[in-house]
């Protein structure tokens, strides 16, 4: 018997297979052509990528236009915008980059070293519109340590390759309402580049001390002696919910704001712009990689 086919006798002996077979027949008999109206949204929205943190004085904000739903490339850059961030007293002006490879990037060389525990306002002026967003700078716990464990399937030998679960350990801040995003670097390269690869944590159900798996890597992604670095940043509840929703959605381009995603993804930008403005404090810790035995 072909492995792809199920015999009549095996279906009769197995109620589950019978149930699946019935569902298959029903679904096939009811099948009809469905045409999705995925209109071209190219250039319809302003897309804002604005993640300001205290890791270095220089920070950037990227502006682009939305791309077509089926276009896997990045949207075209926004030129000649006026971009500034205000902390209640000072305007930090972001200057448009004149480097060809950084078109659409607006840069400020000082703001990262000046962040304080206040609310920040982002203002973007472009095409006779003013786009506004606000974000609060909040503290983040210090990372105590990083540990590695063989994944469950590697421990019991169900897979040939070794896979490692990476755990973060830290003491939670006093009170509730804190949210964090964790990224992984290996040998200076960001491994968790896409939103779906990142880990977000809410302190809603956390104890005073946290030990949590935040990433899994395979042995072919790392070499002995490589430095693993975890970076944990404070984020707002809205940004936490943004990632939670994104995790359950699929987009052909990997960009949640390209075209028309399956459902609305949160944004804290005004005037119909898409994207997110987030001001964060960051803590980090590193560990030299040594392979583990089974």
Model confidence over 60-101: pLDDT tens digits?
999 999 865 444 456 789 999 999 999 999 999 999 999 999
Render 236-248 in DSSP notation, one character per residue: -HHHHHHHHHHHT
Query: Which residue matches tokens 């018997």?
Result: 1
Dist. CA 161–CA 277, nearest whole Å: 40
pLDDT tier for residue 264 given thresholds of 50, 70 and 90 = low
The encoded tokens of residue 3 equal: 């492995």
Model confidence over 4-24: pLDDT tens digits?
444 444 444 444 444 444 444
Does the global pTM surpass 0.85? no
Dist. CA 176–CA 18, nearest whole Å: 50
Residue ranges of domains in the chain? 1-27
pLDDT tier for residue 42 given thresholds of 50, 70 and 90 = low
């Amino acid at each position: 018997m072909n492995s792809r086919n199920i015999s009549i006798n095996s279906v009769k002996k197995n109620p589950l297979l019978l149930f699946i077979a019935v569902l298959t027949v029903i679904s096939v008999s009811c099948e009809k052509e469905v045409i999705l109206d995925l209109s071209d949204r190219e250039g319809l929205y302003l897309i804002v990528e604005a993640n300001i943190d205290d890791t270095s004085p220089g920070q950037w904000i990227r502006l682009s236009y939305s791309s077509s739903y089926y276009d896997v490339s990045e949207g075209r850059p926004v030129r000649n915008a006026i971009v500034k961030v205000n902390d209640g007293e000072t305007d930090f002006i972001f200057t448009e980059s004149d480097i060809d490879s950084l078109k659409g990037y607006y840069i400020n060389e000082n703001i990262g070293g000046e962040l304080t525990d206040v609310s920040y306002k982002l203002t973007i002026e472009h095409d006779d519109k003013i786009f506004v967003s606000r974000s609060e700078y909040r503290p983040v716990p210090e990372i105590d340590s990083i540990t590695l464990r063989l994944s469950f399937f590697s421990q019991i030998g169900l897979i040939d390759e070794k896979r490692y679960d990476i755990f973060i350990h830290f003491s939670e801040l006093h009170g509730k309402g804190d949210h964090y995003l964790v990224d992984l670097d290996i040998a200076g390269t960001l491994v968790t580049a896409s939103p779906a690869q990142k880990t977000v944590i809410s302190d809603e159900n956390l104890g005073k001390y946290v030990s949590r798996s935040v990433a899994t890597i395979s042995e072919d992604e790392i070499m002995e002696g490589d430095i693993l670095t975890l970076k944990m940043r404070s984020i707002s509840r809205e940004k936490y919910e943004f990632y939670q929703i994104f995790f359950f959605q699929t987009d052909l381009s990997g960009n949640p704001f390209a075209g028309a995603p399956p459902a609305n993804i949160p944004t804290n930008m005004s005037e119909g712009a898409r994207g997110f403005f987030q001001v964060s404090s960051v803590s980090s810790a590193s560990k030299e990689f040594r392979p583990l035995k089974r």
